[in-house]
């Protein structure tokens, strides 16, 4: 099951390519060559969808028979589906050895017919009465409290549930969980008629949460905290990560290992709403509609993100974590929550803040130079703009992690984008504002690169900050912001005294050149309207902003540049082979 916002053509096909390539032993020279060729063209950015499709077609063509299986495609947001359908249609046309298998709810049938016509075979799948009866027999035979079940009630269950619930198998499971959880035959019989009296999934979730809250204090709290973490985490959590997160107590100085709950206890107290994916070992909600339900009922969790940020930061400030060597390349198995806490505390703090979170964050960031979390975050950010398949290929082909030298807490918070913490850090006056990391980037460059308007402004206001410094690749803060398309940061820099809008990189590329290549239309407009920004500037390789815009296929940016009298289209387009 995909998180719906992450379900795009690029993520889906990137994941497919990762699986195909991972199964190749060894990776063919043709695939390696295609990947390296694409990387040269993209100049450091992530592979785009056409490039992923090209490599995927080459990969599938190497197989005798290929099968593409995509489950729950209806969970892909409707706005993302046309691009995915187009890509799948192209792949199937180019790879006659490959078959496509898709599951989804009935409303996507029209889309399937539109793209694949009569070539698509539709198989409606829904539980038969016999399927439901077999499932009920299985649950009744495994009843741990068989002494509070009699034959007449058993017969009623086998009759009433199939008669009233015929479409949604999940609902059958929730009803049986509710019935078997009761302590007497009378209460079980009451639950049967309550749960089958016109009940839908929303009502079933409400009833199950009500039962969770009727548990004893510690089990109720554990269940609700688990549901909070699973429904609000920034990525799916491994079972071990969740177990250790739930064992962290705010205000403590180290983890009490004996407080780590077992996965069996965790699943038991959530009453069937949580399951463990056996293949990935991740903990997830039983169905995506439960995620929708929890998201709609915001009163269930009070300030979840500040609570999660506090837990992450408490964990990172534990004595045992602070003693870990900052140069460790692998996370010790005894600290499974370390990666998540290091990479995502800031995202939770950005959504919700309180004074405890700010205090813990400042403690961590002041020891950033000697803390393992800085190394973990820096490694993660070095892969930040790469797709799933690129990460996988880099692991298979070998990847050198970045040097953490010079990377301070001020660099770190630039990525996190938490204004309250940024203001407190700058006010401390203990930081070298122009400190360079191993790639020559200052905190201002990091702030511009990640679109951090607040910190960019705070740093520009410091008298010793030079806004025109460039990193070892020659990119200035303005070039980084232009490349990323952060219009507000670009405008801020352009309006700041002393910022040069045409200052070029060591390869001769200007901020306008970067914005044009990445199709950042609003930024291109801003730069073109500024005096001193040359719309026909030449990089050392002889290319212009127009050349890069044409390569990226962005017609709006191409038109914006062609509307400038100083742009010479003929000379540059001939050189680059675009017509």
Q: Are 360 and 313 within 8 A, CB to CB?
A: yes
Confidence of residue 111 (pLDDT cuts 50, 70, 90): confident
pLDDT surpassing 70 at residue 318: yes
| Strand blocks (E) in 249-305 | 274-276, 282-285
Top pLDDT among 163 and 228 is at 228
577 sits in which H/E element: none
Question: Smallest Cα–Cα separation from 416: which of 312, 341, 345, 310?
Answer: 345
| pLDDT value at residue 388 | 44
pLDDT surpassing 80 at residue 32: no
Helix (H/G/I), strand (E/B), else coil: 432: coil
Q: Encode pLDDT of 202-227 as tens digits.
A: 878 888 899 899 888 899 999 999 99
Q: Encode pLDDT of 250-278 as tens digits.
A: 999 999 999 999 999 999 899 889 989 87
CA dihedral 532, 536, 539, 541 (to 10 degrees): -170
Q: Are 513 and 537 within 8 A, CB to CB?
A: yes
| pLDDT value at residue 325 | 92
Helix (H/G/I), strand (E/B), else coil: 320: helix
| pLDDT value at residue 167 | 66
The size of the chain, in residues, is 579
Confidence of residue 348 (pLDDT cuts 50, 70, 90): very high
First-residue to last-residue Cα distance in the chain: 44
């Amino acid at each position: 099951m995909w998180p719906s916002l992450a379900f795009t053509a690029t993520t889906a096909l990137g994941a497919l390519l990762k699986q195909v390539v991972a199964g190749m032993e060894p990776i063919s020279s043709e695939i390696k060559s295609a990947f390296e060729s694409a990387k040269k063209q993209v100049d450091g950015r992530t592979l785009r969808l056409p490039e992923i499709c090209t490599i995927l077609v080459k990969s599938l063509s190497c197989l005798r028979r290929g099968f593409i299986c995509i489950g729950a495609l209806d969970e892909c947001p409707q706005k993302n589906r046309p691009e995915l359908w187009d890509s799948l249609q192209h792949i199937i046309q180019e790879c006659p050895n490959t078959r496509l298998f898709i599951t989804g709810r009935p409303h996507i049938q029209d889309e399937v017919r539109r793209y694949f016509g009569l070539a698509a075979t539709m198989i409606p799948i829904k539980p038969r009465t016999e399927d439901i009866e077999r499932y009920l027999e299985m649950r009744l035979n495994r009843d741990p409290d068989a002494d509070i079940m009699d034959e007449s009630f058993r017969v009623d269950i086998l009759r009433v549930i199939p008669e009233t619930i015929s479409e949604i198998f999940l609902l059958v499971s929730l009803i049986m969980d509710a019935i078997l959880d009761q302590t007497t035959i009378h209460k079980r019989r009451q639950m049967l008629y309550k749960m089958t009296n016109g009940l839908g999934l929303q009502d079933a979730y409400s009833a199950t949460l009500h039962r969770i809250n009727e548990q004893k204090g510690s089990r109720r709290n554990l269940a609700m905290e688990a549901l909070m973490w699973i429904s609000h985490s920034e990525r799916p959590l491994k079972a071990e990560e969740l177990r250790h997160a739930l064992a962290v107590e705010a205000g403590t100085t180290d983890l009490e290992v004996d407080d780590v709950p077992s996965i069996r206890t965790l699943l038991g107290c959530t009453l069937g709403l949580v399951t463990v994916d056996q293949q990935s070992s991740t903990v997830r909600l039983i169905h995506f509609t439960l995620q929708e339900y929890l998201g709609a009922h915001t009163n269930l969790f009070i300030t979840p993100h500040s609570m999660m940020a506090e837990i992450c930061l408490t964990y990172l400030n534990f004595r045992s974590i602070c003693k870990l060597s900052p140069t460790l390349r692998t996370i010790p198995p005894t600290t499974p929550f370390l990666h998540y806490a290091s990479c995502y505390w800031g995202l939770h703090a950005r959504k919700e803040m309180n004074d405890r979170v700010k205090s813990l964050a400042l403690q961590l960031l002041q020891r950033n130079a000697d803390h393992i979390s800085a190394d973990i975050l820096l490694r993660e950010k070095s892969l930040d703009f790469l797709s799933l398949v690129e990460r996988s290929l880099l692991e298979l082909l070998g990847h050198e992690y970045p040097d953490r030298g010079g990377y301070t807490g001020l660099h770190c918070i630039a990525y996190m984008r938490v204004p309250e913490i940024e203001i407190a850090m700058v006010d401390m006056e203990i930081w070298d504002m122009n400190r360079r990391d191993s790639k020559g980037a200052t905190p201002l460059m990091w702030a511009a690169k990640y679109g951090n308007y607040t910190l960019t402004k705070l740093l520009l206001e410091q008298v010793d900050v030079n806004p025109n410094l460039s990193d070892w690749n020659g990119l200035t803060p303005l070039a980084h912001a232009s490349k990323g398309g952060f219009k507000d940061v670009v405008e801020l820099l352009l309006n700041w005294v002393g910022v040069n809008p045409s200052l070029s990189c060591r390869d001769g590329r200007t901020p306008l050149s970067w914005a044009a290549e990445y199709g950042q239309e609003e930024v291109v407009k801003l730069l073109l309207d500024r005096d001193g920004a040359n719309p026909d500037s030449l990089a050392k390789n002889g290319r212009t902003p127009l050349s890069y815009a044409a390569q990226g296929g962005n017609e709006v940016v191409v038109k914006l540049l062609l509307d400038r009298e100083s742009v010479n289209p003929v000379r540059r387009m001939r050189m680059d082979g675009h017509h």
